[in-house]
Structure 1
Amino acid sequence: MEKNITVYTTTHCPYCTMLKGFLSQKNIPFKEVNVEENPEMMYKIVKQTGQMGVHQTEINDKWVIGFDPESIIAAL
């Protein structure tokens, strides 16, 4: 089953950069949504997770908050 991974980021977030680097190193394809460029997506995140910060990762409708490689691998 193919995993649908979306990473919600901002431009200057160092943890966002770490997460994208981690996923790239593991050859895990993902879609990036920069909430600074697409602010309405921030409302989606807050509504679904209750968290206002980034980065957040959505994997097939399940959420991983923050840079948590173990939880991301487990969700895959």
Structure 2
Amino acid sequence: MPVTVYTTTRCPYCVMLKNFLKENEIAFQEVNVESHPEKMQQLIRTTGQMGVPQTEINGQWIIGFDSNSIMEALQK
């Protein structure tokens, strides 16, 4: 199941989220929206949210670092 995490360089919640995924051996692709500003515009159009982290799991979006929602989405 593809997991994509949208982050910025200095976001502490992004680091927490990536550490959580690594600790739980969940493979993910990271997209740094500072390096790819067009991805930030795409995120805003898709979710209406400007903040990071945002995580897409199988078409479901999770805003912020929410470990419970991430685990629920992975079980679907």
TM-score using structure 1 length: 0.96
**What secondary structure sits across from 1:21 in the alignment?**
helix
Partner Cα distance (1:60, 1:40) in 2: 21
Among 36, 47, 50, the residue aligned to 1:49: 47
Partner Cα distance (1:29, 1:39) in 2: 24
Aligned length: 74
CA RMSD of aligned residues (A): 0.4
**What secondary structure sits across from 1:22 in the alignment?**
helix
| Residue 54 of structure 2 corresponds to residue 22 of structure 1 | no
Gaps of 5+ in 1: none
**What's the offset of the Cα at 1:14?**
0.3
TM-score using structure 2 length: 0.96
Partner Cα distance (1:33, 1:16) in 2: 11
% identical equivalent positions? 61
* Paired position in structure 1 for 2:35: 37
**What secondary structure sits across from 1:46 in the alignment?**
helix
Partner Cα distance (2:73, 2:55) in 1: 10
Within 5 Å, give how 1:51-66 maps onto structure 2: 51-66=49-64
